[in-house]
Amino acid sequence: MTKTYKIEVDCANCAAKMEEAAGKVEGVVKATVNFMTLKMKVEFAEGSDEKTVMQAVVNACKRVEDDCEIYL
């Protein structure tokens, strides 16, 4: 399953770091952050719980850019 989320991030470099951090979260097959459209697309692993995985993604992204927002 793939879902798209609206995000707020300050710069393209931070967006790239958030993409990398989100991609390393267990339960995420692939994460893509588009700075121009301010959207994050997340492909979830089969059988993973979307809410639990996204909370871990938010936590990982906050470690990269503490004032970023991901609207779940």
What are the backbone angles phi and psi of residue 71, rounded to the nearest 5°? -90, 110
Q: What is the pLDDT of residue 58?
A: 97
* pLDDT at residue number 13: 95
What's the total number of domains in the chain? 1
For residue 16, the model assigns a pLDDT of 96
Task: Using the Cα atoms of residue 70, residue 15, residue 57 and residue 59 in order, give the sign of their dihedral.
Answer: negative
Q: CB burial class (10 A; 0-12, 13-18, 19+) of residue 47?
A: exposed
The CA distance from 47 to 15, in Å, is 27
Residue 20's domain spans which residues?
2-71
**Interaxial angle between packed helices 12-23 and 50-64, expressed in degrees from 0 to 180 and rounded to the nearest 10:** 140
pLDDT tens track, the chain, 72 positions:
999 999 999 899 999 999 999 999 999 999 999 999 999 999 999 999 999 999 999 999 999 989 999 999
CATH of the domain at 32: 3.30.70.100
